[in-house]
Structure 1
């Protein structure tokens, strides 16, 4: 290195300080041919040119937008504005997809929190009429038999539904429930049901309105609670509209089995 050029170069320690990159990281970048010192003396001393600080800025930029070191190396070979523009467009689309993913996750967490917070209102078998806003729902594609005695495996059918949700693009565990085709029947042990999850938006939904509501725990209290709803409606001359919705407000996130689920049972009334 000529004396007049020496002022243009920084030792590896000085370059590390100015660039904010640790010395051992600079050595690693040298080894993988990402950022090599401009001059290496016979004694092994490394020297970087001041202009290489621009390269550091480039590395920082592309690391921040999610590129791997190998991808940054490939970029370094391009140096054409059109190629770089295409690369940044791809990274921008990836960033947008991640943003959408985390937005959907945030919406799911909000719905789970709203559902779990309802457990604080749990008064077993107390019946009341409550107003509910419209609730977007995604339903299972098949009608299933919810309960057929001791050999039933609720966990299996619900898990099958979750797999259906994932296939439909609902990759998160949204709050779930079931629509019972009750039609005012007194006995629902073998009633047909459709499972559902609460989602941010849907063409299908539980309509807004006043709902005869009670809470119960597990399958046996659920059957008794349903009959109490029917009796309550009959005593007060309430007209039942539609079928029975059952929200799992304490679900598998808290309860180890279905008998420990807290169920919110709702039938629309006028």
Structure 2
């Protein structure tokens, strides 16, 4: 290959050779990372073909996660042993990033499945259905916190931090628990925020949602309108001859993650129930 300008390249030619831009080369020159082989009296920079390998080293280390400052220091203190150490550090960083991406992929798949299910639901029609037992990672709300935005935000933040600590991929949908005594009193006061966890999860604090029969309703609309479907579900329980025998569990199926409007929010409310007069041994 014949090289122009006596084996020297202009900035534009060298940028094309490297698959980069002139602005990138100008920046590398300014910070002392990759300087041209020569600069003419007219200010024109010239690079050699051998500097392609210097540029490629910078590109590889950048793609491995090194900052330009780290790369500059390395090039000024080059030796093979240090290069090996640098590569091993970057390998460890890449493995960590891959784990994070795998968890993110699982979370997005879970949110997508939940959203797909919510869009296919029939809204505001109560039903009775059996549900399986689930383990819930919970954060408790102090008395009155659920009635104020600041209190809710603080506990949600605490809960999300707890999920991050335990690297939960299925932290969404978030949910809340209304204790049995509050359900019986007709109150929608929330006592816990929760996320589902696998059966073998050993972190805490945990609350078990028992298997059994549940009265369930799925509602679409703003969170402020929650009480309407909640009380409609309680009325359904009474009409159908059921009795409340456990907590209520509120699942966010579509919230801020999938909708820009509270009018599109979807929640599922499930209250553990039993037939009135059932002997204790026959109850779910």
The TM-score normalised by the length of structure 2 is: 0.70
Q: Equivalent residue for 1:215?
A: 217
Cα distance 1:23–1:164, how it changes in 2: closer, same or farther (>3 A)?
closer
- 1:118-167 Cα offsets, whole Å, 9 max, x none, are 253234242132444x54532114565687xxxx33x4443222111233
1:165 aligns with 2:154: no
Equivalences for residues 219-230 of structure 1 within 5 A: 219-229=227-237
Equivalences for residues 1-270 of structure 1 within 5 A: 9-12=7-10, 13-116=12-115, 117-132=117-132, 135-142=134-141, 144=143, 152-153=147-148, 155-170=149-164, 174-182=172-180, 186-189=184-187, 193-198=191-196, 202-203=201-202, 204=206, 209-215=211-217, 217=219, 218-229=226-237, 232=240, 234=242, 242-253=246-257, 254=259, 256=262, 262-267=267-272, 270=284
**Could you tell me how far apart the structure 1 residues matched to 2:96 and 2:241 are?**
49
**Could you tell me how far apart the structure 2 residues matched to 1:225 and 1:146 are?**
24
Tell me, yes or no, if the aligned pair for 1:180 and 1:191 is still in contact at 8 Å.
Answer: yes
- 1:86-109 Cα offsets, whole Å, 9 max, x none, are 322333333333333333333333
Aligned length: 254
What is the Cα-based RMSD across aligned positions, in Å? 3.8
Unaligned runs of 5+ in 2: 220-225, 275-283
Cα distance 1:36–1:250, how it changes in 2: closer, same or farther (>3 A)?
closer
Cα distance 1:135–1:45, how it changes in 2: closer, same or farther (>3 A)?
same
Tell me, yes or no, if the aligned pair for 2:8 and 2:49 is still in contact at 8 Å.
Answer: yes
**Could you tell me how far apart the structure 2 residues matched to 1:123 and 1:137 are?**
25
Give the SS at the match of 2:152: helix
User: How far does residue 78 in structure 1 lie from its aligned partner after superposition?
Assistant: 1.8
Tell me, yes or no, if the aligned pair for 1:8 and 1:50 is still in contact at 8 Å.
Answer: no
Give the SS at the match of 1:110: helix
**Could you tell me how far apart the structure 1 residues matched to 2:212 and 2:238 are?**
15
User: How far does residue 64 in structure 1 lie from its aligned partner after superposition?
Assistant: 1.3
User: How far does residue 225 in structure 1 lie from its aligned partner after superposition?
Assistant: 0.9
**Could you tell me how far apart the structure 2 residues matched to 1:266 and 1:19 are?**
64
User: How far does residue 197 in structure 1 lie from its aligned partner after superposition?
Assistant: 2.3
Give the SS at the match of 2:112: helix
Cα distance 1:24–1:191, how it changes in 2: closer, same or farther (>3 A)?
closer
Cα distance 1:207–1:243, how it changes in 2: closer, same or farther (>3 A)?
closer
**Could you tell me how far apart the structure 1 residues matched to 2:125 and 2:185 are?**
17
Tell me, yes or no, if the aligned pair for 1:174 and 1:199 is still in contact at 8 Å.
Answer: no
